[in-house]
Chains A and B, each alone.
Chain A
Amino acid sequence: MSHWIIVPVILPAILGGLMVMALRHDLVLQRVFALACGGTLWAVASALLWAATTGAPEVYHLGNWPAPFGIVLMLDRLSALMVWITATLALILQLYAIGTGWDRKGRHFHALWQFQLMGICGAFLTADAFNLFVFFEVLLIASYGLMIHGGGAERVRAGVQYIAFNLVGSALFLFALATIYSVTGTLNMADLAVKMQTLPEGSSALMRVAAVLLFLVFAIKGALVPLQFWLPGTYANAPGVVAALFAVMTKVGAYAVLRFGTLVFPQSLAATGSMVADLLLPAALVTLILGALGVLGATSLPRLVAFAAIASMGTLFTSMAAFTPASSAATLYYLLHSTFATALMFVVADMIGARRAQARLSEVSPPLAQAGLIAALYFAGAVALAGMPPLSGFLGKLLVLQAQRGAANLVWPVILITSLILILGFVRAGSMIFWKAHEGGAKAGDHAPEALAFVSAFLLLAVLVSLTVLAGPVTVWAEATAAYLHDPAAYIAANQLYEAP
């Protein structure tokens, strides 16, 4: 049994505590430790990804209790991928936070960042539904602190809305878990998958209620219509670098839907059947349309990117809703792309926000400092997020469309038309920011170059480019992962469930 599985949870937890206790007044040491931890976490996550790819799924018994009684962590291809995405994104964004000085604008930025990573990695690794709830709360409570980092009346007010929304979500999560427990008597995910198959006839109605409650919670996390109201206000008001990290937080919702939809509530299950998919698809399509319209109508750039994030979650869930191996493979590729593309756009929006005199898009403002580089980044980010060639967004949408070929439904027209609307929205905002700026003949603004921030943004772009160049191997990997996900026997066997002698 490899102890490395728990490192992505333990390492940030220890370092976050250390930062609060010992390093609270020394920003330079905090930065050094944060980067060292980020680098280590990335190396461990890469090694775990390699181990999960080459080997069978691996279980980690906490306290060495056998599976349904003790809490277990599971390392398989999906969770290793999600942890790797988190570690990569967090390391790149730490450079941005240091480069722009976001971590100076309030206390405990790096400590909260570590706790955020602990919660996200834990949520991806755990194989126990109640433990998933606990890690959700860990990542949420860290995100509350990060979201209001820097302060300001409007940001704090948006923070209160965000907390309230998520507290309701937590209550729903507990209702769902308690209902599941009352029917099955277990909360271990592999054990649940086994017990679901032999559910007594009379319990299936209760289980359907529990499933709907559970997916409602994941829909809140994934910003699925009609539960997306928290996202635009939160992401637009959060510090840019935090909003970029939150790009992986919506993916926690997507991950949970994919995990529970294939493992615990598969299509073949008698009690729920295709209920999950039937509910998910219309909601995802409406999410996509609403996100695209929001991009067209947004009044400020952070809001525009927030709606683009909603649209990309819509595409992700649309692809996921089919729950076939092909569609799940496309979902995984699009998930990789969408995380980094959304983060890149939030970073660019933050750069523009720091340099532009007017927050509103409709008002003309003098040219930006370093306008050339920022315009190039904006262009690349918009191309990626709208799904135009040559970047990975195009390939991702192509895979999504290909996986849904032949299905007589609205997926093709909605994805294609919303892509056009997204392009229009990005073009409108880009021309207002970069081209209209020269009309007044005003001098360019003055702003420090912040080389590290540009390094970080170009690293995000480099991930997208390598995702495009390596699309072949990544797709093959995603197909193997999807095949594994749709045959949960390997996952269940790896849990080594205790059987009464």
Chain B
Amino acid sequence: MEALIAASLGLLTTAGIYLMLRQRTFPLILGLTFLSYAVNVFIFAVGRLAVDLPPIVDKAAPGYTDPLPQALVLTAIVISFGMTAVIVIMALGAYLSAGNDRTDSADGTGMAGRANPGMNSEAHSGAHSGASSAASSAASSAAGDDRT
């Protein structure tokens, strides 16, 4: 069982890191989710793997498994769930306001609200008129696909 857990942890982490290195927000969020799955299983496993043992006091129990990692993993799950919700909303906001879902910033000045010279002109005008039309976002997504 140790080998199975270890192998699946490694697989989850690998997939997570690979997806995080993509330049689009959707794979990035998937990658972060995989990574948090890996972390959660890892925390669960550090209490040592045991089958059919209760974590709370029970007179008939032959032994106990460590209850603390189970409490820790609950906290970790709740927090990572909340954080994922936040980043999904932020990514949606970034997509709707900029017209593409690339994670890298092409603007070197770092000034909020300034025109982004890396974007194509259609997405540019779409972002400025405040309503990024489907056509301009599709065009910029296509441009993004070409680059990645």
Return the contact of A163 from the options B43, B86, B98 (Cβ within 8 A): B86
* Contact between chains at A153 and B79 (CB < 8 Å): no
Chain A residue at smallest Cβ distance from B108:
A299
Assembly CA distance A150 to B75 (angstroms) = 31
Given A134-B75, A299-B108: A141 touches B83 (CB 8 Å cut-off): yes
Assembly CA distance A163 to B69 (angstroms) = 26
Given A168-B32, A170-B80: A160 touches B25 (CB 8 Å cut-off): yes
* Contact between chains at B90 and A159 (CB < 8 Å): yes
* Contact between chains at A164 and B20 (CB < 8 Å): yes
- Residues from chain A with a CB closer than 8 A to the CB of B62 are none
- Residues from chain B with a CB closer than 8 A to the CB of A154 are 98, 105, 107, 110-114, 116
Residue tally, chain A, CB below 8 Å to B: 44
Chain A residue at smallest Cβ distance from B17:
A168
Whether, in the assembled complex, B139 has its beta carbon less than 8 Å from a beta carbon of chain A, the answer is no
Identify which of A177-185, A282-290, A379-387, A456-464 touches chain B.
A177-185
Residue tally, chain B, CB below 8 Å to A: 41
Choose among B86, B90, B93, B103 the residue with the greatest number of A CB atoms under 10 Å from its CB. B90
Chain A residue at smallest Cβ distance from B132:
A153
* Contact between chains at A181 and B114 (CB < 8 Å): no
Interface code B29-56, partner A: CB below 8 Å = 1, 0 otherwise?
A: 0001001101100110010000000000
- Residues from chain B with a CB closer than 8 A to the CB of A175 are 39, 42
* Contact between chains at B83 and A158 (CB < 8 Å): no
Q: Is the interface of B mostly helix, strand, loop or mixed?
A: helix
Assembly CA distance A159 to B38 (angstroms) = 25
Q: How far is the CB of B69 from chain A (nearest CB, A)?
A: 7
* Contact between chains at A153 and B105 (CB < 8 Å): no
In the complex, number of A-B residue pairs with CB atoms less than 8 Å apart = 130
Whether, in the assembled complex, A302 has its beta carbon less than 8 Å from a beta carbon of chain B, the answer is yes
Beyond the given pairs A170-B83, A299-B110, 11 more chain A to chain B contacts, judged by CB atoms under 8 angstroms and listed by A's residue number, are A137-B83, A140-B83, A152-B97, A158-B110, A163-B90, A164-B32, A168-B35, A171-B39, A177-B43, A237-B112, A300-B111
**10 sampled A-B residue pairs with Cβ under 8 A:** A130-B75, A141-B83, A152-B113, A157-B103, A158-B105, A161-B103, A171-B38, A181-B69, A300-B109, A303-B110
* Contact between chains at A168 and B105 (CB < 8 Å): no
Interface code A77-120, partner B: CB below 8 Å = 1, 0 otherwise?
A: 00000000000000000000000000000000000000000000
Assembly CA distance A236 to B68 (angstroms) = 41
* Contact between chains at B68 and A181 (CB < 8 Å): yes
- Residues from chain A with a CB closer than 8 A to the CB of B42 are 174-175, 178
Assembly CA distance A154 to B124 (angstroms) = 12
Whether, in the assembled complex, A156 has its beta carbon less than 8 Å from a beta carbon of chain B, the answer is yes
Assembly CA distance A159 to B87 (angstroms) = 9
Assembly CA distance A360 to B69 (angstroms) = 51
Whether, in the assembled complex, B15 has its beta carbon less than 8 Å from a beta carbon of chain A, the answer is no
Q: How far is the CB of A163 from chain B (nearest CB, A)?
A: 5
- Residues from chain A with a CB closer than 8 A to the CB of B127 are 153
Assembly CA distance A313 to B20 (angstroms) = 27
Given A171-B36, A359-B114: A156 touches B105 (CB 8 Å cut-off): no
Given A164-B20, A236-B111: A148 touches B36 (CB 8 Å cut-off): no
Assembly CA distance A152 to B96 (angstroms) = 11
- Residues from chain A with a CB closer than 8 A to the CB of B20 are 164, 168
Assembly CA distance A360 to B86 (angstroms) = 32
